[in-house]
Amino acid sequence: MNDKLNLKNHVLPKIGKIKLLALTAGDIQNIHLGLKNKPIMANRCLALISKMLGLASKWGLREEAEQLCKHIDKYPEKKRERFLSMTEIERLFDTLNIAESQETEAASSILAIKLLLLSGCRLSEILELKWDWVDIANHRINFPDSKTGKKTIYISNQAIELISSVDRSDGNPYVIKGLIPGTHLVNLHKPWYRISKLADLEDVRLHDLRHSFASIGAASGLSLPLIGALLGHTQAQTTARYAHLVGDSLKDAAGLIGERIKSVM
């Protein structure tokens, strides 16, 4: 998805009308330099162009076309740490609520974005969430499988209220419905691109909502093992054991984060 957006917004406007045989390293360098204030995006565009030129060479369209990118140095990249502030969360929810009231975005897309922030779940976990996994009475989701295997996570009242508001009359097994009956939403990146732009959060990725959930917990005084348990981390045996033994504490912790977010919703 990011490649498609980079191609549309940054690559084609600059070199889309230049014939392959006339393309120069300078043309590519200009794209890279034009994005110097966004080094990660600049490097991704460079990698995309290099891949495209590699294929052009492989298909015999221009010999050694990929060499045009060879001497363009990538910008240094710092490990990305992006957390939403409470003011930004308020702005995000305002934008989502306006989109919902004006029906400019699908209800399933809006629901998915809200749940990502309110639950700290991974994108795939929310999009593929099934009703059978949701234990509303105990405020938890029992994932039979995930990136880290079988796990249970506890969620807040706010997340439960959102999930409970979904119409289940069509028999769809998924909470986040897709366009085709009986399926789940597949692509949230396009709606997020539009929402984040309207909310002036264009540098925020969907995965940053998970980071933001954790950062609110840390700012609220929750311990790192407890935050790790809420996120379903299993790297440390102590975290996994803690998550197994303190269900009530995890439910309270999820509720605390939910209340912080609710205050600006």
What is the DSSP code string of 140-180? EEEESS-TTSSEEEE--HHHHHHHHTS--TT--SBSSB-SS
Give the 3-state secondary structure of residue 85.
coil
Cα torsion at 189, 217, 114, 198 (round to 10°)? -60
CA atoms of 59 and 57, how far apart (whole Å): 5
Could you read off the pLDDT of 21-79 as tens digits, one per residue? 999 999 999 999 999 988 988 999 999 999 999 999 999 999 999 999 999 999 988 76
Give pLDDT, residue 227: 76
Domains along the chain with CATH numbers: 2-69 (no CATH), 86-262 (1.10.443.10)
Q: What is the pTM (predicted TM-score) of this model?
A: 0.63
Question: What amino acid occupies position 30?
Answer: N
Give pLDDT, residue 249: 60
Q: Which of 68-72, 212-216, 226-230 has the highest mean pLDDT?
A: 68-72
Longest dimension (CA), the chain: 66
Cα torsion at 58, 64, 70, 72 (round to 10°)? -100
Q: Which residue has the higher pLDDT, 229 or 7?
A: 7
